[in-house]
Amino acid sequence: MKALIPWRRTTGVLEPYRLQMEDLFERFFGPAETEGNGLTKVWAPRVDVAETEKEVFVKAELPGVDPKEVELTVQNGVLTIRGEKKEAKEDTKKDYHRVERFFGQFYREVPLPAGADSDKITATSTQGVITIAIPKKPEILPKKIAIKALAT
């Protein structure tokens, strides 16, 4: 029966590749902490990253999170979004069999492109979405060069 479980840890020829894939997923999604029932208890907010000629925008979905509970930091070219989603109130009258809403700490890192001006970052919050605007430094913006017509 154990041979039917493909994700079982092994020590075969493919073990180094499996370890590399686990490391890649942990770096991208964060550590895979689980409860006793196998359900994950770690949450990383979903982000959209868009770029224009002058700015990079990061939108993080944080429904039910007070913006005051969110910490934004930039260090070594990485934007870090960290905080905690707190449960509004405890309901002691109901017996829950399963709760799939997340409450607890969250963490997300977004690498910034070269030339991002970390001193001028702004952030706004609207309806559970935090929008972070990261301007690009003027020296990395493309310069337009005028072409002069010469008389022939």
User: Rounded to whole angstroms, how far apart are CA atoms 61 and 13?
Assistant: 41
Residue-level pLDDT at 29: 65
Confidence of residue 32 (pLDDT cuts 50, 70, 90): low
CATH class, 43-87+102-138 region: mainly beta
Answer whether residue 70 shows pLDDT above 50: yes
What are the residues facing 55 on neighbouring strands? 135
The DSSP annotation for 51-94 comes to E-SSEEEEEEE-TT--GGGEEEEEETTEEEEEEEE--S----SS
**More reliable by pLDDT, 51 or 34:** 51
Q: Where are the domains of the chain?
A: 12-41, 43-87+102-138
Whole-prediction pTM:
0.61
Answer whether residue 132 shows pLDDT above 90: yes
Answer whether residue 130 shows pLDDT above 60: yes
